[in-house]
Amino acid sequence: MKLDESPEMNAKLDTYMTWAATKLIFDFDVYCVVMFKIPNKFRRLAALRGYLRFQAAGKDFDDVWAWSSDEIKAFKGSEEQKTAKAFIDKVRSAFDARSEMSAKSYKLVARAKPRSLEEQIKLWNNNGSAKTIGKKLWDFVDNKLAEYPDTPDLPSVESFVKMITEEAKNLPAATNATPGLSAHGHLKAIDFHVTQNGNKVLHSGGADYWRSTGADDALKAAVTTVNNNSGRKVFDGPLKSPDEPWHYSYIPAEA
C-alpha cells in the first residue's frame, strides 16, 4: 500500500521525521514552529531534507538563520542599511545609464530589505518545486519505510537521515531557500528587478527572458563597474545554481 494512503504509515513517517529533526543542531522549538507553519506534508519533508543537507555540508545555522523581527527593526535605518542602499543605488545608476537599457526605458530596482523568517516560510509554501521535490521524496521514502522498525532506534533514525539526504541526492534542491536559510535573511543577497514606465517587466523568475532582453548582461556590466569603482567585490554573481540572473550576493565591508 502507498504510504500516502495509510494513516499508520503516515504516522510512522511523521515519527521518523521528528526523530531526524532532533539530530539538527538548531533550536528544536524553532524547527517545530517552522513546521507548524508549513501545512503541506510534502513541503515539510522537503524542508527537513534541506536542513539536514545544510548541516551535512558542514554549514552553521547561526551564520545564516533569518533575523528576528527585533533584529530586522534594529537594522532599519542603521548605517549598514544606508551603506547597502548606497551601493544598490550605484548599480541602479550604472544600469539605467546604459544606452541599450535606457533605449527601452528599463530601470533597475532593488531594496535593501532583509527577508524575515515569515516571508521565507510564505515563499516556501508557494514554491512549486518544494512541493514537487517533497512529493518525489515522499514516494522514495514510501518504498523503504515499511522495512523500518515501528519504534525508531538510533540506527534506524540514522539510516532514515541517510535515506533522505545521501540516497536521495539526485533530487534537486527547491528553487527557494529552505525557510530560515536564505541569504536574503541577513541581507547577504539582493534580488534586482527591472521596471519599464513604472511596470515591473523583469522579476525573480524567467531567467531566459533576462538574457534575451539583454538585462542580464547590462546588470553584470553595472555590477562590474560598481565593484571596480569601489576597489573591491561588493556584489558577486549572478547566482548560477539555481539559474537566477537577478540574484547577487552582497558583501558588506569588513567592520
Q: Which residues bind Zn ion (CB under 5 A)?
A: 191, 247
Closest CB 117 distance from Zn ion, rounded Å: 16
Nearer to Zn ion, 41 or 247 (CB): 247
238 prior amide bond cis, ω within 30: yes
Closest CB 23 distance from Zn ion, rounded Å: 29
Q: Residue 237: which residues within 8 A CB-CB, separation 6 or more?
A: 223, 247, 248, 249
Give the three-class secondary structure for 227. Answer: helix
Closest CB 187 distance from Zn ion, rounded Å: 11
Nearer to Zn ion, 19 or 246 (CB): 246
Half-sphere exposure of residue 246, counting CA atoms within 13 Å on the CB side?
21
Closest CB 183 distance from Zn ion, rounded Å: 7
Nearer to Zn ion, 165 or 182 (CB): 182
Closest CB 247 distance from Zn ion, rounded Å: 4
Nearer to Zn ion, 14 or 205 (CB): 205
Closest CB 146 distance from Zn ion, rounded Å: 39
Q: Select the residue whose beta carbon is closest to Zn ion and give its number.
A: 247
Q: Give the integer Cα–Cα distance in Å for 24 and 48.
A: 9
Degrees to nearest 5, angle at CA 169 with 168 and 170:
95
Q: Give the integer Cα–Cα distance in Å for 22 and 24.
A: 5
For the record, the C-alpha cell of 84 comes out as 547597502
Render the burial of 47-63: b for 16+ CB within 10 Å, e for the rest.
bbbbbbbbbeeeeebee
Q: Residue 150: which residues within 8 A CB-CB, separation 6 or more?
A: 12
Nearer to Zn ion, 116 or 165 (CB): 116
Nearer to Zn ion, 37 or 193 (CB): 193
